[in-house]
Structure 1
Amino acid sequence: MAAFGRFSQTLLRSVSGAQTRQLSAAATHGEQGGKTWKLLTFLVALPGVGVCMMNTFLKAQHHSHDHPEFIPYTHLRIRSKRFPWGDGNKTLFHNSHLNALPDGYEDHK
């Protein structure tokens, strides 16, 4: 039994020692990892953000600024009681251009 205990302790020391050697070896390559992330940031991430911004800008230029068609469905824009702010008919984050009231858009009245 004592031989098994010594063998398991020796085995544990060799395994833990190998792990610490691997970790310390990985730490020496830290400068290479930082350089890689710096290159990825400047060569991939920033141009990707620029392309996305340009795509959004170009789509906004071709976007129609008309109201969506108002269809007075009975199940939409139900007001069972008044809102506690303003005139009681508009939601808290009301957008007069996009959000219709129960009887239509505000500027078509």
Structure 2
Amino acid sequence: MAALGRFSQMLLRSSLTQTRRQLSAAAAGHGDQAARTWKILTFVVALPGVAVCMLNMYLKEQQHSHEQPEFVPYSHLRIRSKRFPWGDGNKSLFHNAHLNALPDGYEGHDE
């Protein structure tokens, strides 16, 4: 009885090993083809897509007005309940003097 069990296990192992070898041999060619497909997609789809997005951004920037927006002192905007922990405490961390107004107006403009 034990000999029958060992014989069946030996047959099972050999068939599993053989199946694995066949699957790995079939998959070996697939990896090369997949890499080639992704390489082609990169050059045909991705890079032209990035170029079109860059062109769109450049054209939109050319139409964009570079004037400073009008300052309107809304009461619910630019509230400073406590000072920022950097600089003079009134400017945000990524403050842009041309676009970001302070609570009393833009910097360097007396209106």
Indicate whether the TM-score tops 0.5: yes
Secondary structure of the 2:37 match is: helix
Kindly state the Cα deviation for residue 91 of structure 1 after the two structures are TM-superposed.
Answer: 1.4
Aligned to 1:87: 88
Secondary structure of the 2:88 match is: coil
What TM-score does the superposition give when structure 2 sets the normalisation length?
0.73
Aligned to 1:105: 106
Which amino acid is the alignment partner of residue 93 of structure 2? L
User: CA, structure 1 residues 72+11, in 2 after alignment: closer, same or farther (shift >3 Å)?
Assistant: farther
Secondary structure of the 1:57 match is: helix
For residues 31-89 of structure 1, the C-alpha deviation after alignment (integer angstroms, 9 at most, x for no partner) is 22222112111111111111111111111111111222322111211112222332221
Kindly state the Cα deviation for residue 12 of structure 1 after the two structures are TM-superposed.
Answer: 8.7
User: CA, structure 1 residues 69+21, in 2 after alignment: closer, same or farther (shift >3 Å)?
Assistant: farther
CA distance in 2, matches of 1:13, 1:73: 80
User: CA, structure 1 residues 89+32, in 2 after alignment: closer, same or farther (shift >3 Å)?
Assistant: same
Aligned to 1:75: 76
What TM-score does the superposition give when structure 1 sets the normalisation length?
0.74
User: CA, structure 1 residues 80+13, in 2 after alignment: closer, same or farther (shift >3 Å)?
Assistant: same
Give the length in aligned residue pairs.
109
Aligned to 2:60: 59
Kindly state the Cα deviation for residue 22 of structure 1 after the two structures are TM-superposed.
Answer: 2.8
User: CA, structure 1 residues 68+20, in 2 after alignment: closer, same or farther (shift >3 Å)?
Assistant: farther
Structure 1: stretches of 5+ with no match in the other structure: none
Compute the RMSD of aligned alpha carbons.
2.6
- Provide the identity percentage: 63
Secondary structure of the 1:38 match is: helix
Structure 2: stretches of 5+ with no match in the other structure: none
CA distance in 2, matches of 1:100, 1:13: 77
